[in-house]
Amino acid sequence: MESFRKIYSSEFHKKFLAHNVRPDGRSLDDARNTKISVNSFGSSNGSAFVRIGNTHGSQKLGGGGGDGTSVTCAIVAEVGPPTDATPNGQIIVNVEMTPICSSRFRTGKPTEEAQALGHWLNELVRSPHHLSLEDMKVKMTRHEAVEDDEEEDSLPGMVWYLYADVYCINHDGSIGDAALIALFSAIQNVRLPQLVVTKENQMIAMPIDASSGRINILHHLVPTTFAIIDEQVLVDPSAEEEELSSGLLTIVTRSDGSLVTIRKSGGTSLDDEKLKQCMKTAAERCKTVEKEIKSQR
């Protein structure tokens, strides 16, 4: 059975898909469960862990492969001078797909997949329509207030640069979905500390308290990935399904129901009817996932 799956994987999947069911027991328009937990890492300014699939003992056939995608994102805030392009600071996203998450990756420079995903996330997160960085000014005070009043002014105006690192823990398909959800959940939970400057010009972050700053999220973005296998469209594909597919489609929707972006790879075409269906599914999924993200505040 398992050898059959390995050797004739496309035949194996076709036998299931002919009955509109997938090897893991889902129907074609059935997304896996999304579970989010936030602020797991105290060493960062905000963090989130996202797991898609296998959140409750899911039925598995043959045991091969899939176990759910998991991704963690943590944000470290650093201080730097503002530039013309970044008067309010910036969020810098990097995606690390280390060899731990799949046998496809090896140590060394990041794969193109990781770089492309990182670029895509950066674009989404830097768009002024979703996030507002305006309140993100650094609050600094002198340690042991210096008598000289002119000294007070010498504190330079600084802004926050937030390094968001997305680590992929287990790559079982729809990694972009997990990454974007993790990124927004982490941003939502970022706390920016007050800074104190000592005599030696050391900048020291004070413990987080009620006055610590937050980032204003205007709209949550929720992505949904679809895989196109022959004529069929599968929502939230697993790694195995992604490999067999002739194309992937990612639809990002906003909490108010509007469409943000569509990203499609692969050469196969998709007719109108199917695309509309996909957008409907994406909008539905957006609601459930957004609820999950907001509950983690």
Partner 1 sequence: MQNGNQSLVCPGERLGHTDTFESGEGTYILGNYVHASVIGAREETAGKDGGKTLLSVKKEKEPSIVPDIKSIVTARVTRVNPRFVNVSILCVGDRVLREPFAGMIRQQDVRATEIDKVEIYKCFRPGDIVLAEVISLGDSRSYFLSTAKNELGVIFAKSVAGATMVPTSWESMMCPKTKTKEFRKVAKGASLSSSINVNCTTVTLLQTKTDLLNTTQCLRR
Partner 2 sequence: MAARRVEERYRSNAPVTTVRPLHHSFLPGSQATNLAKRDRKRNEFRQFFMKTGIIGQASGSAYLEMANTKIICGIYGPRQIPKMEFSEKAKLQCDFKFATFAESRRERRKYTADKEEKEFSMLMVQALESSLILEKYPKSVIDCYVIVLENDGGALNGAITCASMALANAGIEMYDLVAAASIGLNPLNGEILLDPTEAEEIEYKKGGKKGGGVVTIGFMPGMNEITQIWQSGQIPQEKWLL
Partner 3 sequence: MFKISESEREYLVGGILQNVRNDGRANLDFRSIVVKTGVLTQTHGSARVQLANTDVLVGIKLETGEPEAQAPHHGRIHVSVECCPSASPEFEGRGGESLNNELTLVIERIIKDTSSFDLSKFSIIPGKLVWIIYIDAMVLDSGGNLFDAISLGTRAALHNTMVPHVDVNIEAEEFTVSDDPESFTRIDVSDIPISVTFCKIGSGYVVDASIEEESCMSVRTTVGVNKKGNICTLQKGGHGSIDPTTMYQMIASAKKIGMRLIEGLDKTLHTESNDLQSKKNIGFFIDQ
- Region of 20-28, 162-170, 205-213, 248-256 interacting with partner 1 (CB under 8 A): 20-28
By C-beta, is 190 or 278 nearer to partner 2? 190
CA–CA dist 238, 247 (Å, integer): 13
Cα of 221 vs its chain's centroid, Å? 10
Name the minimum Å distance from CB 272 to partner 1.
29
Name the minimum Å distance from CB 193 to partner 3.
16
21 DSSP assignment: B
3-state secondary structure of 276: helix
3-state secondary structure of 162: strand
189 DSSP assignment: T
172 is a contact residue toward partner 2 (CB under 8 A): yes
Task: Say if residues 141 and 152 touch (Cβ distance below 8 Å).
Answer: no
By C-beta, is 109 or 199 nearer to partner 3? 199
Residues that bind partner 3 (CB under 8 A): 199-202
Q: Exposed, middle or buried, 166 (CB in 10 Å: 0-12/13-18/19+)?
A: buried
By C-beta, is 22 or 220 nearer to partner 1? 22
By C-beta, is 156 or 266 nearer to partner 2? 156
By C-beta, is 110 or 270 nearer to partner 2? 110
By C-beta, is 202 or 269 nearer to partner 3? 202
- Region of 19-27, 91-99, 217-225, 264-272 interacting with partner 2 (CB under 8 A): 91-99
Binds 201: which of partner 2, partner 3, partner 1, none (CB < 5-8 Å by kind): partner 3
- Residue 176 CB contacts under 8 Å (≥ 6 apart), including other chains: 117, 120, 223, 225, 250, 263
- Residue 292 CB contacts under 8 Å (≥ 6 apart), including other chains: 34, 35, 36
What token pair was written down for 198? 């000592």
Name the minimum Å distance from CB 22 to partner 1.
9
**Sole binder of partner 2 in the list 161, 224, 233, 289 (CB under 8 A):** 161
Task: Say if residues 85 and 189 touch (Cβ distance below 8 Å).
Answer: no
What token pair was written down for 214? 């937050």
> Among candidates 172, 143, 220, 215, which has minimal Cα distance to 71?
172
26 DSSP assignment: -
66 is a contact residue toward partner 2 (CB under 8 A): yes
Which stretches of the chain bind partner 2, using CB under 8 A?
40-44, 47, 54, 65-68, 70, 72, 74-81, 83, 85-86, 90, 92-94, 96, 98-103, 107, 109-110, 115, 118-119, 122, 143, 161, 163, 165, 167, 169-172, 193, 195-196, 198, 202-207, 239
The residues that touch partner 1, with contacts defined as CB under 8 A, are 1-8, 12, 15-16, 19, 21, 25-27, 30, 59, 61, 63-64, 103
